Structure 1
Amino acid sequence: MAATIPYRETIELEKAFASAMKSIARRADLKTHIEQTPALYSLLNRAAARYVTGESRSDGLAAQQRLMDKGYAVSLEYIGENTTNLQDCEDAQAELSHLISDLSTRNKAARVSFDLSHIGLLLDHELTYRHLIALAEQAKHANIELFISMEESAKTDDILAIYKRAARNYSHIGITLQAQLNRTEQDLIDLSSGTSRIRLVKGAYQEPESISIARSSILNERYLRLIEQAVEQGHLLSIATHDESIIDEVVRRGWIQSSAVEFEMLYGIRPDLSCKLNAAGHPVRIYLTYGQEWYLYLCHRIAEYPPNLFQAVLDMSAAEQLAPLRDYNGKNTQLVPRH
């Protein structure tokens, strides 16, 4: 008879595994080794294809169009963060500019997301601000939102300071807040002086217990409080979660009925849930990514839900190339119930 691991030990193992994956994600030596080993790079890239649309801008734009045709809103991110080379920061800013230009020619409402550390935060705050303003000015006349992602807690003060400075003149810039951080309720209060565009996430980064709380029912309660706080303050809110207990509560409380509130979900994560909400007429935005910096992104997706490791192995060994877009149905598509 096969041995079974007690439930409590399983939970502890999953927590330890998630912590290890977050550490692995930050190992520059492992990332370099993967990039310099073609066979390994190709293998892991097959697993990343579940969560990343491809390595080129055209991949992201093609996925965006197909999802918008099915009735979803879309956010596009050119993957990258913690850039420490000036030329790489300039290149990232140029790529984001090209993305905005390509989106503007399609004459559809769109959102572009990015990390400030991709465009200069680790080098110079003024450089970062200039890059952000240049992108904001370009997006201003093209009906395109810019959304700043949140990063490790050590960067939060700097990210919020640059966001607030830019948002004074560019209302189409949004900011991401992490519910896991103890400071976030106060950060949201500090944004109450005007209507802001906010994406609320639980938080994917490994943070000290002294400043954050782990994923738990307590974090879920805080997340719901923050949603209520944001709705009462009149913010434009993206509820970025795949947690069905939270989603059900948002629907039950009627928050999603507001035109200022939407659900946001990561590409490749629970497409069945996105389809269900989309078919029910709820506004759903799919967060798409593209680019070559997919290593950290893949590690985080596995860390957030350890069974995704099993899925990664299946994807790497599959006979056919993965095509996650097939899993997204349009508003009027009959859904197959889950069992």
Structure 2
Amino acid sequence: MQYELNLEKQFSAALKSIARREDLKTYVERTPELYMLLQQAASRYVTGETRQEGVAASRRLAAEGYKISIEYIGENTTDADECEAAAAEMKALIQDLGRAGLPARVSFDLSHIGLSLDKELAYSHLMDVAAYAGTVETEMELFISMEESSKTEEILSVYARAAASYSNIGITLQAHLNRTKQDLEALAASPRRIRIVKGAYQEPEDRAIPRSSALNERYLELVESAIRQGHHVSIATHDEGIVDEGLKSRWLAYGNAEFEMLYGIRPELGSKLKAAGHPVRIYLPYGHEWYLYLCHRIAEYPPNLYRAVIDIVSKRI
């Protein structure tokens, strides 16, 4: 058993490293047959490559009673024109959601709209998108995702400045980072919208702890603290043990918490929670940059590799 656990951890770390190799990503994109095969695997977790597909999936799930979080996938963009195009796509997404009458959360990485080039560029695009979100009649949240720990300080800085002007902007915190307890405490004076995740990025041992019972305990402590501080909290997990603990602790009774789950991951658990009357939000990504997203989904839970192979084979038969 211990050997299998160690092997799973090594596989997860290796896949996270592969996900960051630009040469492999480029090879996949330039090899049509391989691209098509991996795209078939990604289709379980990504609604499609176009905004129209993302909005259609959002409408379907909203009609079933789920709350919606939707992301135009992309990060680490190093071309200013591409950053501007990503911000324009976010505004078009907000417009389409508004026209459909869908209250939603638009999630994104700051490095998709400029952080990899200049913090001020990311801030400028965020403020522009936030201003546009205020022009649609349906309620729109903007939610900043968290990235590698090397970016955490800048992400929190941009968030703090923007949230001072727009109350509908939220921030994601990663439980595996050692600094997160202090980051949450720094937000206590001004309750906002917070999503708490375990963390998908490979980090140095001095900055984070690995997937373990210790991480689960830290996650539970962070959620409890955030709810009691008055934040609107998205409990973003598919860990049924954490979900059960949250239900036992009656976190949802405070009225400021919800469960959030990724599109295509544990849909039966989300359905079960929704059927029991608990608020459940589904995170739906779309776009062409699905390669890194697929790698993270498998790295987080290696048995997803089996499902990826089954999806590829079943669609080829």
| Both structures adopt the same fold (TM-score exceeding 0.5) | yes
- Note if 1:126 corresponds to 2:114: no
Instruction: Give the corresponding residue for 1:35.
Output: 29
Contact kept, 8 Å, 2:40 with 2:315, in 1: the verdict is no
Structure 1, gaps ≥5 residues long: 1-6, 322-339
State the distance in 1 between where 2:207 and 2:231 align: 25
Contact kept, 8 Å, 1:177 with 1:201, in 2: the verdict is yes
- Note if 1:88 corresponds to 2:82: yes
Instruction: Give the corresponding residue for 2:73.
Output: 79
Q: Percent identity?
A: 62
Instruction: Give the corresponding residue for 2:14.
Output: 20
After superposition, give the CA deviation of every residue in 1:184-237 in whole Å (9 maximum; x if it has no partner): 000000001112100000000001111111111111111111011101100000
Give the TM-score normalised by the residue count of structure 2: 0.98
Within a 5 Å distance, the mapping from 1:167-316 to structure 2 comes to: 167-316=163-312
Contact kept, 8 Å, 1:140 with 1:172, in 2: the verdict is no
State the distance in 2 between where 1:319 and 1:106 align: 32
The letter for the 2-side match of 1:178 is Q
- Note if 1:163 corresponds to 2:163: no
Contact kept, 8 Å, 2:59 with 2:102, in 1: the verdict is no
- 1:318 is paired with a residue whose SS is helix
- Note if 1:106 corresponds to 2:100: yes
* CA displacement at 1:87 relative to structure 2: 1.2
Could you list the structure 1 runs, at least 4 aligned residues long, displaced by more than 3 angstroms after superposition.
none
Contact kept, 8 Å, 2:143 with 2:172, in 1: the verdict is yes
* CA displacement at 1:258 relative to structure 2: 2.6
- Note if 1:154 corresponds to 2:150: yes
After superposition, give the CA deviation of every residue in 1:283-316 in whole Å (9 maximum; x if it has no partner): 0000000000000000000000011111111000
Instruction: Give the corresponding residue for 2:111.
Output: 117
Instruction: Give the corresponding residue for 2:39.
Output: 45
Contact kept, 8 Å, 1:264 with 1:284, in 2: the verdict is yes
State the distance in 2 between where 1:261 and 1:251 align: 11
- 1:269 is paired with a residue whose SS is coil
The letter for the 2-side match of 1:273 is L
State the distance in 1 between where 2:90 and 2:289 align: 14
The letter for the 2-side match of 1:281 is G
* CA displacement at 1:111 relative to structure 2: 0.6
Instruction: Give the corresponding residue for 1:3.
Output: none
Instruction: Give the corresponding residue for 1:335.
Output: none
- 1:199 is paired with a residue whose SS is strand
Contact kept, 8 Å, 2:113 with 2:125, in 1: the verdict is yes
Contact kept, 8 Å, 2:15 with 2:295, in 1: the verdict is yes
After superposition, give the CA deviation of every residue in 1:22-63 in whole Å (9 maximum; x if it has no partner): 001001011101111111100100000010000000010000
- 2:116 is paired with a residue whose SS is coil
**Equivalent pairs, count:** 315
State the distance in 1 between where 2:29 and 2:171 align: 31
After superposition, give the CA deviation of every residue in 1:78-126 in whole Å (9 maximum; x if it has no partner): 0000000111111111111100111111223111000000000011111
Instruction: Give the corresponding residue for 1:63.
Output: 57
* CA displacement at 1:320 relative to structure 2: 7.4
State the distance in 2 between where 1:50 and 1:258 align: 33
State the distance in 1 between where 2:69 and 2:57 align: 11
State the distance in 2 between where 1:94 and 1:168 align: 23
The letter for the 2-side match of 1:203 is G
Contact kept, 8 Å, 2:236 with 2:259, in 1: the verdict is yes
Question: How big is the alpha-carbon RMSD for the aligned residues of Structure 1 and Structure 2?
Answer: 1.0
